[in-house]
Structure formats: structure tokens, C-alpha cells
Amino acid sequence: MDDRTVAPRLKYQLVIFDFDGTLADSFPFFQSVYNGLADKHGLRRVEGDQAAQLRSMGTREIMRYIGMPAWKMPVVSKSFIGMMSENAASIALFDGVADALLALFDAGVVLAVVSSNSEHNVRRVLGPGLSSLFSHFECGMSVFGKASRIRKVVKQSRVGAGEALYVGDQGTDAEASAKAGVAFGAVAWGYAPPEVLRAHGPVDEFESVSAMLAALLIAPATAGSGPD
């Protein structure tokens, strides 16, 4: 009998990941330091169940709610990134992310990160082993400036835009994908709830990390059985 397992078929040649809320479970840390940042930069504090309410808002709505003008965002982001750098060891990847990245890499998917966080923080949380799986890191831009970085990664990877997917957890990720002309995959485990991301019309919705992996690596049936 001949029983051969065929390699999985790739739904996308290039998968670009957001970092915070997509690969890394950094929101609890952000919650723990936010009010300190708010006091330092003259923003509205968030107390009690207000954090849950904010999750249903878009980024621009949140900025208006906390009283953060666009010009102040880079300053606040720099403060947060610095605090995260000092506490990177306490921030974990979501369960299953490490195994999923390894499986995608082994299957031949080109991996990249486009994140408003710093490359230093991204690499520290991933660790050297997982970082080595990524062909491109485009980091440190505004949350509203991801589209050009996504296009840059697609160009450098020499794949068609139709062969690329950007995976993220916020409306700004969906908007950046649309501007860059690539498909958007929405994760259910990040900052924005699924119903908010669904309004942006993602091509894929991933309920779990394992579901994401199954969707991206389409396993063929076991190759033929028959006489030797």
C-alpha cells in the first residue's frame, strides 16, 4: 500500500501580522500603565468598565474620548513603547502563536510584521528563535500609517497583492489593508470585538489561533492508496 501525505496548500504566499493584540497579549500591560500615561500627558483616565466600552469604539473615537489630539499620539506612543521595553519579559504571546508561526514557516509561507510598536519590543517578545522566522519587520509607524509599510513588504517579498494577507485586531488594521490592496484577516482574540471588525468586511475571520492556522494551510487529502 502507498500512503503518502502531501504538503498543505498555501492560501496566501505572504502573511503579514500586526503585533499587539494579534501575536502578543499586551493589552493587560497597556491597561496597567494607561492611567499613568494619561496623567503624564493630560489625557482622560479610564476607570472600571470604561475599558470594555472603549473596545467597541474605533481608534479615532477613542482619541476623542480620552482627549488626545493627533499631534500628541507620537509622544504618548513613545512613552508606552519605552515602558513596554522595560517590561517586555512580562508580556506573552497568545497561546498557540509560537506553534502556528513555526507551522506557517515550515510550509513555506513568507512571514512579516507591520506594527506601530518598536522592532526592538517585537523581537524581544517573540524571542530570537521566532524572530528568525520573519523575513520583514516594519515597525514604529503611526497606527494610521501602516498601509505604506504593508505595500513595502509586499513589494519586497515579490508576491502579488492578491497573494498577501494582513492579520490584525483593530479597525485601523482593516483600513490599512484596504488602502494597501491586500486582504484582511480579523482575529477574535485581540482588542476590538469581532462584531466591530466584521463591519470592515474582512476576507477571513479567525475565532482562534488554531482556526487561523487551519484556514491558512489547507490540508489536502492523503495521497492515493493502492497496490505497490
The pLDDT assigned to 172 comes to 95
pTM of the model: 0.90
The pLDDT assigned to 1 comes to 42
Whole-angstrom distance, CA of residue 57 vs CA of residue 131: 32
The pLDDT assigned to 4 comes to 56
CB-based contact 2:8 (threshold 8 Å): no
The pLDDT assigned to 89 comes to 87
Residue 170 phi/psi, 5-degree rounding, is: -135, 160
Using DSSP's 3-state secondary structure scheme, residue 224 falls into coil
Mean pLDDT per 10-residue run, the chain (228 residues)? 64 97 94 93 91 86 93 92 91 97 97 97 97 98 95 96 96 96 97 92 96 89 47
Whole-angstrom distance, CA of residue 159 vs CA of residue 101: 19
The pLDDT assigned to 220 comes to 67
